[in-house]
A and B are shown apart, each in its own frame.
Chain A
Amino acid sequence: MKTKKLYTLWIGFLGIFLALGFYTVIRLYTKGSDTVFHADDTIPWTLLIASYVFFVLTSTGATIVASLSMVFGFSRFDPIVKRSLFIGLIALIAGFISMGLELGDPLHMFYYFISPNLKSPIWWMGAFYMSLLIILSIKFWQIHKRIGSEKIKKILSISALILEIAALTTLGSVFGFIEARPTFFGEFIQVYFLFSSIIAGISAIFFFSLIVYKLKYNGIPKSLTRMYESLSKIFAAFIGITLLFSIWRILIGLYANRPEFDALSYMVETWHYRIEIFIGLMVPFAIMIIPNFRKTFSGKLLAAILVFVGLGIERMNMVMLGQIHPIFPHFLESESIISYFPTIWEWSIAMFSLTIMLFLYTLGEKYLDLETHNVSTK
């Protein structure tokens, strides 16, 4: 009874954001992009690009975790394969929604297929992520319906892993190839994306599965505690690596003499950057390396939530870091730092993408039986 009430409340909550999102989409296409977006040529990429990066990196991260079992044969992780794949799929869909709504003229998208520019990182990124969507859908269907030969499953799993790595590093190159904006951090960002994608994926898997376990079994089922302990250690290791990258990124930026790096000096002083580093990485790292915290249900859930939210802020900081310093030197009237805060409608679209993801997850959990193991609570 209590669960039913909670479920109704949850659907109602999602419904509010869905309705707001639909209203914003209608507003975007009837009243024009200037009524929705920040509409400033000096900051062409806004919250929705950050939101896209956030979702697609979460997607690749979740599916890379699934490949621990599917590609590398660590059978301990078999129980989370289906759920991880599903999270990968719905996060990808959420990412596409953010990107699709960010485009000024999505009706011209057919030129993407009939007039491809193979030199463009965005083209390759799109190609990899679209292929990934297809492969992940097939794989999920195979697992759901328990069909397909082992050989085909293996080939698809390996292809998916290659595509995941290709997609997220190509996404890094979208930013990294921009020579005029060194604060996107060139090739550094691609490696950073790989590690931060993995923690994004694990945090999403923890977040979604732990809440379900809490509601269904009042905690992690006994048969899964060893797996979650292993995953927590992997989580800790990759949060540590991501933190190390973040610290070096700050130090490289602060030691650089180029004026563009003023953006970083500015950024490290802001509250959102501090949340990214302290609350989004340091605190969860501490939780995950101290066994007394790591082994608890709430420790895991808290670390997952902090990393999930912290990475949301990180993607925004990353997209802004490359844009808030004017790239045109010696221009006297330019501001030293361009200010930007997302409009309420940009927030609404980002929340719309997240809501779609949460809504699809709710449906998946209800109708697709995301458990792939026999749960034992003893």
Chain B
Amino acid sequence: MTTATLECSSFVELVDLYVDGALDPSDAAEIEAHASVCPHCDGALARRLDTRGQLQALAGASACDAALLARLGGALDKQTRRRAVEDVPRYAAAAAVALLFVGVGGVGGAAMRWAAAGVSSVANAETAAMMTASIQDPLVDELVRWHLRQIPVEVTGPDSETVGEWFEGKVDFPVAPPDFDRSAHLLGGRLGHVEDADAAMLVYDAGGAKLSVIVFDPAGRQLPTAHTPDGREVPFFVARRSGYSIAVHQRGGIAYAFASELPDDRLEALVESALRHGLPGAAVPAH
């Protein structure tokens, strides 16, 4: 028979190990023997076992609902597809990409300039999954520079209405920070400028990567829209500069530039999400 020789202070030291099953059998027996003769310590042991039981019950208390599972499945599908594409052997040193431009309101001089400046002349409709072009326009450089500038925001997110209202009276166009369906969170905004015109600079956190949205008045500049090689018209174009991707969308006299070091397909998905939610001055494209 085990005798209760344990002091209460030793019991307190050992009881957690006992609950975890981490004591050897002789120590465990001492704990049990002490608890059987000491109501105070028995209570302490009971509280621990009760708490442990309640905590264990939490393990089965939450489940992913159908919407969440669909979202996760979609994200994994996308990654599966992307990696499958990456696994395809590359036959050419440079990926074949194609981008065709048309002017927004008639083929203006600016659009011609953009189109003529740097569109890859190699078109391989089979492998060109994205529309990318190395557009040699100073505007693209300026947008990348703004994206790279590490300057404090003047109004903080995440409430897009607050941030939008802050720009009222500061720029002469409405600013409604785009909604990216949780894929990117608004950190804040500040005033900036693009080619001497006022611009709203918005900064987002897109899964740890910085995403800049620069809203500006293109002031008569005709930005191009793009077609994919299979002829699908897309409401924005993507340009690359020094490892950064810039997507530009223009509608109703307001231009939106999205800049990030994210892969093109992720940036593209973000832009599509923003367009789906609608942007001021932008008609919602049919999908």
Q: A and B: real partners?
A: no
A contacts, CB < 8 Å to B: none
Query: Which B residues fall within an 8 A CB radius of A?
Result: none
